[in-house]
Amino acid sequence: MSMNKNYSSADRDLLAKIGEKIRKYRSQKGYSQESFAFECDLDRTYYSSVERGERNISVLNLYKIAKTLGIKVGKILE
C-alpha cells in the first residue's frame, strides 16, 4: 500500500470509509472504475487508489467525483 506512514489509524479508517462510499455510489450508477475516472477527468490509477482508501483526496477531486455521481460532496462525507 502506498499510504503515507504519517497517517494515524483513524485517518486510514476515514479514507477507507470515504473510498467505500464512493465505490458504492459508482457501482449503483453502473460505471466501471475506468469509465468513471474518465468521466471525472481523473487518472484511473489515482481514482483506484482513492477507492482503496490509499489517497487523501483533494477537495477539488472530491467535488469532481460528487458532481459526476450527481450528489453533493456532503453525501460522501456523511
pLDDT at 63 over 60: yes
Quote the pLDDT of residue 6. Answer: 84
pLDDT at 56 over 90: yes
Quote the pLDDT of residue 43. Answer: 97
Burial class from Cβ neighbours inside 10 Å (0-12, 13-18, 19+) for residue 40 reads buried
Q: What is the mean pLDDT of the chain?
A: 93
Quote the pLDDT of residue 7. Answer: 87
Class of 9-77 in CATH: mainly alpha
pLDDT at 35 over 80: yes
Which residues, including other chains, have CB under 8 Å from residue 28's CB and lie 6 or more apart? Answer: none
Averaged pLDDT for residues 62-68: 98
